[in-house]
């Protein structure tokens, strides 16, 4: 974390971490689930109960759906399963920090609406569920609606990771978004600009 430009403070047990997080204005809290004393889930619940709104990222080796639901229901903003690559952890951290620093103004393109504060996405009156990466990609496209974004711009902003020329991950996530956002609607909001990148735009069919 230090190499990435962050200045972490470390707590060796849950109770110490709870008091540290409660009494200091951190930008982000990383919580391991298997902490001595209080679990990461319990620390998260207590902090949210105290009105602490700092973004929380839970780290755990538990990958069962029920564990993920428990983590998010405890008030966490994101959930990362071990083992993971440091690059993915840093990307999640950056995404949470960006989200915190962005304004609360609703984003709207055509009949698609995104609420940054609640992360709720609705199109045509129907709520849409997205993964953390899908959400980050959609938010970036919507904040730049009407503007052509190059593949390099999107990869740098959403992933901030060197793919060594392999940018197929972007096409994969664009296809995920299109299935969730555009499928079943008369007009597509995510436009391909051949040889350049993508653009979010409401074009009547």
| CA–CA dist 14, 41 (Å, integer) | 10
Rg of the chain on CA atoms, in Å: 18
Query: pTM for the full model?
Result: 0.52
pLDDT of residue 102: 56
Of 62, 83, 101, the one marking the end of a domain is: 101
CA distances from 29 to 18, 32, 78, 103 (A): 10, 10, 11, 20
Domain co-membership, 47 together with 95? yes
Residue 106, pLDDT above cutoff 50: yes
pLDDT digits (tens, 9 = 90+) for 13-44: 999 999 989 887 788 899 998 889 999 999 99
37 phi/psi in degrees, rounded to 5: 85, -95
The three-class DSSP label of residue 151 is helix
Do the domain assignments include residue 2? no
Residue 205, pLDDT above cutoff 50: no
| CA–CA dist 43, 177 (Å, integer) | 34
Domain co-membership, 122 together with 92? no
| CA–CA dist 202, 205 (Å, integer) | 9
24 versus 111: which is more confidently predicted? 111
Confidence of residue 2 (pLDDT cuts 50, 70, 90): very low
Do the domain assignments include residue 205? no
Do the domain assignments include residue 81? yes
Domain co-membership, 123 together with 181? yes
Strands (E), 62-115: 78-81, 107-109, 112-115
Domain co-membership, 96 together with 21? yes
Domain co-membership, 111 together with 181? yes
Do the domain assignments include residue 9? no
Domain co-membership, 97 together with 51? yes
Per the structure, how many domains does the chain have?
2
Do the domain assignments include residue 4? no
Domain co-membership, 64 together with 47? yes
Residue 161, pLDDT above cutoff 60: no
The answer to whether 58 and 17 have CB atoms below 8 angstroms apart is no
Query: Domain range holding 47?
Result: 14-101
Do the domain assignments include residue 8? no
Domain co-membership, 186 together with 148? yes
Mean pLDDT computed over every residue of the chain: 83
Helices within the chain (DSSP H only): 14-23, 40-49, 65-73, 86-101, 132-143, 151-154, 168-181
Of 85, 101, 117, the one marking the end of a domain is: 101
CATH number, residue 154: 1.10.10.10
Burial of 67 from C-beta contacts in 10 A (0-12 / 13-18 / 19+):
middle
Do the domain assignments include residue 43? yes
Domain co-membership, 90 together with 155? no
The answer to whether 191 and 201 have CB atoms below 8 angstroms apart is yes
pLDDT of residue 189: 94
Domain co-membership, 119 together with 194? yes
Mean pLDDT over 60-76 rounds to 74
Domain co-membership, 167 together with 137? yes
Do the domain assignments include residue 117? yes
Of 58, 78, 101, the one marking the end of a domain is: 101
Domain co-membership, 164 together with 195? yes
Task: Say what percent of the chain tops pLDDT 70.
Answer: 86
């Amino acid at each position: 974390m230090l190499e990435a430009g962050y200045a972490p403070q470390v707590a060796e047990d849950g109770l110490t971490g709870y008091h540290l997080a409660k009494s200091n204005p951190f930008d982000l809290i990383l919580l391991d689930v298997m902490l001595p004393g209080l679990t990461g889930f319990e620390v998260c619940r207590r902090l949210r109960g105290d009105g602490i709104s700092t973004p929380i990222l839970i780290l755990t080796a538990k990958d069962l759906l029920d564990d993920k639901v428990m983590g998010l229901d405890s008030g966490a903003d994101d959930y990362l399963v071990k083992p993971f690559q440091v690059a993915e952890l840093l990307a999640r951290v950056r995404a949470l920090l960006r989200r915190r620093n962005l304004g609360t103004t609703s984003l709207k393109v055509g009949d698609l609406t995104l609420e940054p504060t609640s992360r709720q996405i609705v199109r045509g009156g129907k709520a849409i569920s997205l993964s953390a990466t899908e959400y980050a990609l959609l938010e970036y496209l919507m904040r730049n609606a009407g503007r052509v974004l190059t593949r390099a711009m999107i990869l740098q902003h959403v992933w901030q990771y060197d793919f060594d020329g392999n940018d197929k991950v972007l096409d994969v996530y664009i296809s995920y978004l299109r299935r969730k956002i555009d499928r079943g609607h008369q007009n597509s909001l995510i436009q391909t600009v051949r040889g350049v990148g993508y653009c979010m735009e409401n074009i009547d069919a």
